[in-house]
Chain A
Amino acid sequence: MTALIEIKDLHARAEGKEILHGINLTIQPGEVHAIMGPNGSGKSTLSQVLAGRDSFEVTKGQVLYQGKDLLDMSPEQRACEGLFLAFQYPVEIPGVNNTYFLKAALNAIRKHRGEDELDAMDFLKIVREKVKLVELDEDLMNRPVNEGFSGGEKKRNEIFQMAVLALKIVSSGVNSLRNDERSILVITHYQRLLDYIVPDHVHVLFDGKIVRSGDKELAMKLEEEGYGWLETKAS
């Protein structure tokens, strides 16, 4: 079986400073992984590199997505191939209607898959269904993207977009949309992760490297003891 995502010896830097010092991680279809780590460990760099932010430079290693070179793809290609990045603090976009934006995104992805673009009616049907699923206030669909949304509404809007757009993999953020095809990578500082989702695999990121991997027991240990015990071991 081809792994959904395979990160091999990934090194990356920003503004001349190396932040990731060789990450290795393999995710199989249907698996839920969590990467946890203290501030400055490289969590956000890793998620930005996976999403395709060009402010980070990959200096070594590779990322394979369904066997293809992920780092060679533009952000929009990655999204069209099924990678979805849920932002922790999504940007507000005044003047751009939420429905209009989502329809443009879904049709771009459908076009990439060789499917017909959806008309307004079919699109509305999907919106109605998914809005209910993630309990998003439908009025938010008629507002500019994220503008004036509360923190909770913004997060919910991300999950809602994921429900509409994403097929295979999700990185960062919290959700309840687990299924056999969809893999989820949660990248978080938040230690009370288990309240929301139970990961199959938990990895601890520290100083740009995965220093420990385990199952949900590891997450529980982090929840109880924090990251302090890792620091003493690492040094």
Chain B
Amino acid sequence: MSTKDSIERFRTEFLEARSERQSDEPGWLTLVRTQALERFLDKGFPTPRDEEWRFTNVAPIVSGSFEAAPAGSDSDAAALKKRFQIGEQESHDLVFVNGRWSRDLSSVGDLPEGVAVTSLTDALSEHGDELQPILSQGSGDDTAFFDLNEAFLSDGAFVSVPKGVVVERPIHLIFLSLAPGKPTVVHPRNVVIGEAGSQVRILETYAGVGDAVYWTNAVTQVLAADNAVVDHYKLQRESASAFHVASLEYVQGRSASVSNHSLSLGARLARHDIRAELAGEGADVTLNGLYVVKGKQHVDHHTVIDHQVAHCTSRELYKGVLDDASSGVFNGRVIVRQDAQKTDSQQSNKNLLLSNEALVNTNPQLEINADDVKCAHGATIGQLDAEALFYLRSRGIAQQEAQRILTEGFMADVSDRIRLAAVRETLRGLLFREAA
């Protein structure tokens, strides 16, 4: 199939999807979809010739003939949900199966007055006025994948926390993909609105099982208004043959505080585009990440931290552990605009290669247009310390166990910063089990 054909088929699918879609969709959304499709058809999928995609080849997605995922059975999904629930701590769970909200599997529970945790399509009627500007704005730099998500967006989560309200328990958004036997795609879209002075913790889990071939093309948009606090985690546990492409965007108001941990373990190919716009003075953002891959997995994080105004702080720490013939990419851009005086920014990417075939490309970038700023960045690629390995072995610890302990130690400064204990424990269990 030529690239041209593989793009044109999206037009056909778009028209089919439109005729099947509920007629009560607001007119503005139909227009947004159509415009997004046109943008996509215009630019097509990225290739390694595009600077931002140099080391991540999406050809398998382009040629993969992914069809819209059919509805999954709730009983299969129920078993799956159990596997991916977190900890003992009660959370407000919103479950999506093959891109569709599952009312039965979701258990949102009691929420503080005025807080909305619901499916995006349900929210369109009640929260249409809030959603229209967010869904219409496009992305900071629209990628083909963002456009496709907008054109085909099926469902996703809508979380809205009113002014000054604190949501104590975490909100867990669980996206389950059931193996339908042929390659399928879902386009989840999540919107989180934290109004002024609100506080919320959100965990997104993307999961599938075994060798199921599917493609998740997700977009999450988060607005953190003045003084809002958003503590956000994403746990990517897709199947070993899945493709996961996701954009995440934060827009932060004055003194808004956002923290994100991107924990990427699964998928054959995973690409995360994360963008934080510091648009209000005194805002701070923390972007941390951990990617652990093996076999022939490929994982790519592209992050942009955009210091638009003065007195903002950003902290970024990404660590990668790559085994076998896996590969990784970290591209971290920190932009300091002309008005962003007194910016305080630190960025670091550290990689541990456990095999001779593993490969990583790291590229921290600083673009500074203001003169009174404090910025530091750096990147390292290394192997397990032979001295440390011998030291552990000389104390009776077997080689494999010694490697595991050192690898866990390497990841500790990211994993220890995960404030949500259930996520920390889940992660530790996953990594422990995977290495054992």
A binds B: yes
Residues on A facing B (Cβ under 8 Å) = 51-53, 74-76, 78-80, 85, 87, 90-91, 93-96, 100-102, 104-106, 108-109, 112, 144-145, 161, 165
Contacts of B392 in A (CB 8 A): 93, 101, 105
Known interface pairs A95-B410, A104-B405, A108-B401; A79-B393 also in contact (CB < 8 Å) = yes
Interface magnitude class on chain B: 20 to 34
Inter-chain contacts of A51 with B (CB < 8 A): 390, 394
Closest residue on chain B to residue A104 by CB atoms? B397
Give Cα distance in the complex from A4 to B302, angstroms: 59
What distance in Å separates the Cβ of A81 from its nearest Cβ neighbour in chain B?
9
CB-CB under 8 A from B405, the residues of chain A are 96, 100-101, 104
The interface bits of chain B over 183-205 (1 if a CB of A lies within 8 angstroms of the residue's CB, else 0) are 00000000000000000000000
Of B394, B397, B402, B409, which contacts A144 at CB under 8 A? B409
Asked whether A52 lies within 8 Å of B394 as measured between CB atoms, the reply is yes
Decide: A76 and B393 in contact? CB cutoff 8 A: yes
Q: Which of B387, B402, B411, B413 contacts A91 (CB 8 A)?
A: B387
Contact B395 A79 (CB under 8 A): yes
A177 to chain B, nearest CB (A): 16
Interface residues of B in 359-414 (CB under 8 A from A): 385, 387-388, 390-399, 401-402, 405-406, 408-413
- With A53-B390, A87-B391, A104-B401: A109-B409 Cβ-Cβ less than 8 Å: no
Further 10 A-B residue pairs, CB within 8 A, beyond A104-B397, A108-B397: A53-B390, A76-B397, A76-B399, A80-B396, A94-B412, A95-B412, A105-B397, A106-B396, A108-B401, A165-B395
Residues in A neighbouring B406, C-beta threshold 8 A: 93, 96
Q: Report whether A108 and B412 are in contact in the complex, using a CB–CB cutoff of 8 Å.
A: no
- 21 CB contacts below 8 A, A to B, read A51-B390, A52-B393, A74-B393, A78-B394, A79-B393, A79-B396, A91-B385, A91-B387, A91-B388, A93-B388, A94-B412, A95-B409, A95-B410, A96-B406, A96-B412, A100-B405, A104-B405, A105-B396, A108-B398, A108-B401, A161-B395
Check if B395 sits within 8 Å of A105, measured CB to CB: yes
Do B409 and A93 have beta carbons less than 8 Å apart?
yes
Q: Which of B400-436 contact A (CB under 8 A)?
A: 401-402, 405-406, 408-413
- Rounded to whole angstroms, the CA-CA distance of A87 and B394 in the bound complex is 10
Most buried by B among A53, A75, A104: A75
- When C-beta atoms are compared, the residue in chain B nearest to A54 turns out to be B390
Are B408 and A95 closer than 8 Å at their CB atoms?
Answer: yes
Whether the pair A76, B409 counts as a contact (CB closer than 8 A) is no
Q: How far is the CB of A222 from chain B (nearest CB, A)?
A: 28
